[in-house]
Structure 1
Amino acid sequence: MASLGQIIFWSMIVLIFLFAAIIILILALTFSGPSSDVESSNRSTIANLGQDVRLSCFLLLPNEGGAQFSDVSITWKKEGLSGLVYQYRDGAANLRDQDPEFRGRTQLFTDVINRGNASLLLMRVRSSDDGVYSCSISSSGGGGSVSVRLRTAAFSAPTFTATKDILIAEAERWLPKPSVTWFDFAGKVLNASTTFTQNSAGIFSIVSMLQPVTKRDPYTCNIQSTMVMAVSEATITGSGVSERTTFTFSAASSVPASNLLSIMTSVLCIYYLT
């Protein structure tokens, strides 16, 4: 016969899995939303201020045979905005209800609309463009809607110059204000002198000086904000500085179901132990 402790132990195990199943079901219902044939290749996008960005939205094709759609209507909206971002109807743009904020800055890729591509080109991105956008499509082959989160930032690759034993990195456009860290070829953090200058638009320019440096040794300069990181590798050569920069972008923050399950398990275990 099972002891009282064993009964309590197995009861708690059952409760853990029961609570986990409930949490996963709630998350699935919350994030799945209604059935839709519309998708986006990037539901969280970071745009560089002053440049253009494409917000992805497309109607899933029923097969791979190059199917096309007729009677396509497309509406782009932005959360919290009364006017429309863009509307396409009856084979042409319908901008009567377009919000003035987007006038002259939006367009669709008209040559692929009949193939279900409703992606929006947003030009000359502003900080006020930050927000959640919805793309709705209706057509002869189906329809639905999808949301795209757009975040705005400023970022640029640094340029490098070398003078005697000093390596200088200069980057013109960063927002939010980033941090700058230098590393040697072995990954050791190096001391450097960095200054930030903010213009009237709030965008930061950066000048960072590393000293002393030696020729032919590679150095890495990391410029990182809360949304973007630029990793630059620079090597002083006989004719100047060889450089290469790659960008990585932060994903939208979220709490995975596995984390919630772990939290729930920990809470129940603590409860049992006490």
Structure 2
Amino acid sequence: MASLGQIVFWSMTILIILFSAIIILVLALTFTRQSPEVTSFNISPVGNISQDVLLSCILLQKNDQEQITRVSVTWEKKGQQGFVYQYKNGHPEFSDQNEAFQGRAELFPSLLAEGNASLLLRNVRMTDEGLYTCSIDSSNGGGKINIQLRAAAYTTPTFTFSEGTLDAQASRWFPEPNVTWYNHVHKVLEARTSLFQNSAGIFSVASMLQPINRSEVYTFQIGNKLVTAVSQAKVGDFDVSVRTYYTFSTASPSPASTSLLILILIYCICCLI
């Protein structure tokens, strides 16, 4: 039977190895996700369905004062034939563009000389979800970066107060959202909530809370696995004052990343045997 000292020793050893594996995984993801010369402000953006989304792709120039005199940019989507967008020889190339992106994808030519190859994707669709790759080749360097676009629908809730009832309405949410009301001490409150789904799969939300105390702040939270809206509503004498902010989830690890973590853990366990 192992002594207490041996148990503590092996417990600490396992923890150290696990933390080391996590650090290795983070470093592996960092270096496989992008090249040293190309970066993005957001590698896992959430596009609002029927709205526009910006996929950022920036070339880190060796000399910020030097103008880029030659640049070619290619945007591709994993699993699709043809390009999302291609720019070379000083103008866009549409001959091999995937028809799903025709008229919806564009760059900002005036910003290319500064290393900005960000893609504006208009009228986001559910089918736009996926892994995009931005590749840059220029007179001042180049590289590529992967961006995981996720599609959701979300709108800011609106509030009305009538006859002791505070009503919250949100017209467009996808995937299916969850709704929770809180009082000023963050206690969950009971409310009547209804969800309605249209033919496109988009949900509208109607929720009613009562009774209501004037001048007290109530929190209405609506969200799904991708995006959450938190609204703080205060009922006044004549209207409802509201403040809303959004939070967005980070992208889930890819299957390859998950496999890498499993292999590292198996290796660590084997080392202990």
Change (3 A) 1:147 1:188: same
TM-score, length-scaled by structure 1: 0.85
Q: Which amino acid aligns with 1:189?
A: V
Q: Which amino acid aligns with 1:232?
A: S
Q: Which amino acid aligns with 2:40?
A: S
**Post-superposition CA distance 1:117-136 (Å, at most 9, x none):** 00000000000000000000
Per the TM alignment, residue 36 of structure 1 is displaced from its structure 2 partner at its CA by: 3.9
Percent identity for Structure 1 against Structure 2? 43
The equivalent of 2:61 in structure 1 is: 61
Per the TM alignment, residue 68 of structure 1 is displaced from its structure 2 partner at its CA by: 1.5
The equivalent of 2:84 in structure 1 is: 85
The equivalent of 2:51 in structure 1 is: 51
Question: Is contact 2:35-2:145 (8 Å) kept?
Answer: no
The equivalent of 1:194 in structure 2 is: 193
The equivalent of 1:221 in structure 2 is: 220
Question: Is contact 1:40-1:57 (8 Å) kept?
Answer: yes
Change (3 A) 1:126 1:19: closer
Change (3 A) 1:35 1:221: closer
Q: Which has the larger radius of gyration?
A: 1
| CA–CA distance in structure 1, aligned partners of residues 79 and 169 of structure 2 | 38
How is 1:157-236 mapped onto 2 (pairs within 5 angstroms)?
157-236=156-235
Question: Is contact 2:18-2:265 (8 Å) kept?
Answer: no
Q: Which amino acid aligns with 2:79?
A: G
The equivalent of 1:137 in structure 2 is: 136
**Post-superposition CA distance 1:207-265 (Å, at most 9, x none):** 00001102111111000111110000111111111111111001112489xx98x9789
* SS across alignment from 1:44: coil
The equivalent of 2:39 in structure 1 is: 39
| CA–CA distance in structure 1, aligned partners of residues 251 and 102 of structure 2 | 28
The answer as to 2:93 corresponding to 1:94 is yes
Question: Is contact 2:17-2:268 (8 Å) kept?
Answer: no
Gaps of 5+ in 2: none
**Post-superposition CA distance 1:131-189 (Å, at most 9, x none):** 00000000001111000000000000110001111000000000011111001111111
| CA–CA distance in structure 2, aligned partners of residues 15 and 216 of structure 1 | 53
| CA–CA distance in structure 2, aligned partners of residues 207 and 141 of structure 1 | 54
Change (3 A) 1:50 1:19: closer
* SS across alignment from 2:70: coil
The equivalent of 1:112 in structure 2 is: 111
Question: Is contact 1:16-1:265 (8 Å) kept?
Answer: no
Change (3 A) 1:185 1:82: same
| CA–CA distance in structure 2, aligned partners of residues 16 and 225 of structure 1 | 33
Q: Which amino acid aligns with 2:58?
A: F
| CA–CA distance in structure 2, aligned partners of residues 177 and 9 of structure 1 | 46
Q: Which deviates more from structure 2 when the two are superposed, residues 247-256 or residues 140-149?
A: 247-256
| CA–CA distance in structure 2, aligned partners of residues 12 and 240 of structure 1 | 59
The equivalent of 1:241 in structure 2 is: 240
Change (3 A) 1:35 1:219: closer
Equivalenced residues, count: 264
| CA–CA distance in structure 1, aligned partners of residues 216 and 90 of structure 2 | 59
The equivalent of 1:253 in structure 2 is: 252
Per the TM alignment, residue 67 of structure 1 is displaced from its structure 2 partner at its CA by: 2.4
Question: Is contact 1:168-1:209 (8 Å) kept?
Answer: yes
